[in-house]
């Protein structure tokens, strides 16, 4: 009776994080489609648009967010033994890369990862956030499932490139989110058209348009296409995500359009969840 949270009780289902309004996961059926680039630039764009934003790098096998944000800080332990997220480019960041810097791989089995993610959610002092963006590991494996079962997700974004091979895997990710009853906010097509910086002609390196087609086929919203732009990659490699350039930058604009669609879809998902509560009454 005295303690609301018994440490030895039955593990509860996903519990809301106090103070965090919306938790949005970025997933992909396949790695290398730019899921982390999308997560980082979404977080930066939301922050630049005036929101309080957190970013959780849950890609335990490839935690590239510290590199993309240009930070190798160590999170400090604050009041009540809570982990303080690192503040960078106006967003609160936690990454497994902070705990395991350097080249050593995390050769961990599923259950260990589950408890790590739980700790990241429950023991990190996120404070007041309007959006917590979670960069999931790619694929439909153990870690993605553990995460989905641990985090009370408002919704998920599926990232894909337009190649047939990447879309084949994206369809699997859509089916995974459906099976575990996570609302899919929509699909974003990354590495879409490429414009040669020399002759300005368009080259469909990874094809084009397949993302929108796949979204239509599965009846989920299409959240936009982001061009394959060497400047985006350079800015990621240098720790200064392109979205820092602001909405007016031609290289960053697509990320802001995408961020606005994510905001709209998140509000719709929150409103629908509210309606469900009323229906239960």
Q: Which CB sits closer to a second copy, 124 or 176?
A: 176
Q: Is 208 exposed, middle or buried (0-12, 13-18, 19+ CB in 10 A)?
A: buried
Least distance from a second copy to the Cβ atom of residue 50, Å:
29
Q: Is 27 helix (H, G, I), strand (E, B) or coil?
A: strand
Nearest to 252 by CA among 44, 34, 33: 44
Using the Cα atoms of residue 240, residue 244, residue 250 and residue 251 in order, give the sign of their dihedral: positive
Chain residues in the site for a second copy (CB under 8 A): 29-33, 36, 61-62, 64, 67-68, 103-110, 137-143, 145, 161, 163-166, 168-169, 171-176, 179, 194, 196-199, 201, 203-207, 228, 230, 233-234, 236-237
Least distance from a second copy to the Cβ atom of residue 108, Å:
8
What CA–CA distance (Å, rounded) separates 180 from 159? 18
Q: Which CB sits closer to a second copy, 24 or 33?
A: 33
Least distance from a second copy to the Cβ atom of residue 240, Å:
13
Least distance from a second copy to the Cβ atom of residue 137, Å:
8
CA distances from 154 to 148, 226, 232 (A): 11, 23, 28
The two structure tokens encoding residue 252: 């960053």
What CA–CA distance (Å, rounded) separates 68 from 194? 22
The structure tokens 């979204």 sit at 215
Q: Which CB sits closer to a second copy, 30 or 52?
A: 30
Q: Which CB sits closer to a second copy, 129 or 191?
A: 191
Q: Which CB sits closer to a second copy, 11 or 105?
A: 105
CA angle 57, 134, 232 (to 5 degrees): 70
Least distance from a second copy to the Cβ atom of residue 271, Å:
29
Q: Which CB sits closer to a second copy, 71 or 236?
A: 236
Least distance from a second copy to the Cβ atom of residue 69, Å:
12
Q: Is 66 helix (H, G, I), strand (E, B) or coil?
A: helix
């Amino acid at each position: 009776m005295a303690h609301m949270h018994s440490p030895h009780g039955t593990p509860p289902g996903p519990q809301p994080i106090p103070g965090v309004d919306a938790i949005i996961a970025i997933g992909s059926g396949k790695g290398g489609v730019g899921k982390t680039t999308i997560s980082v630039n979404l977080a930066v764009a939301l922050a630049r648009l005036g929101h309080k934003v957190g970013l959780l790098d849950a890609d335990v096998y490839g935690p590239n967010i510290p590199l993309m944000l240009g930070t190798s800080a160590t999170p400090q332990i604050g009041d009540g033994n809570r982990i303080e997220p690192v503040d960078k480019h106006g967003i609160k960041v936690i990454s497994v890369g902070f705990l395991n810097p350097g080249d050593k791989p995390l050769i961990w089995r599923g259950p260990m990862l589950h408890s790590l993610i739980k700790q990241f959610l429950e023991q990190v002092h996120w404070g007041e956030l309007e959006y917590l963006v979670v960069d999931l590991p790619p694929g439909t494996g153990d870690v993605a499932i553990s995460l989905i079962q641990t985090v009370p997700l408002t919704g998920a974004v599926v990232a894909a490139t337009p190649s047939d091979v990447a879309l084949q895997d994206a369809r699997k990710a859509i089916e995974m989110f459906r099976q575990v009853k996570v609302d899919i906010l929509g699909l974003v097509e990354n590495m879409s058209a490429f414009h040669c910086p020399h002759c300005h002609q368009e080259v469909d390196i990874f094809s084009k348009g397949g993302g929108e087609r796949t979204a239509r086929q599965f009846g989920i919203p299409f959240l936009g296409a982001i061009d394959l732009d060497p400047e985006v990659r350079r800015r990621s490699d240098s720790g200064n995500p392109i979205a820092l350039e602001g909405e007016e930058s031609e290289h960053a604009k697509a990320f802001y359009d995408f961020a606005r669609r994510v905001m709209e879809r998140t509000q719709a998902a929150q409103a629908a969840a509210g309606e469900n509560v009323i229906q239960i009454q």
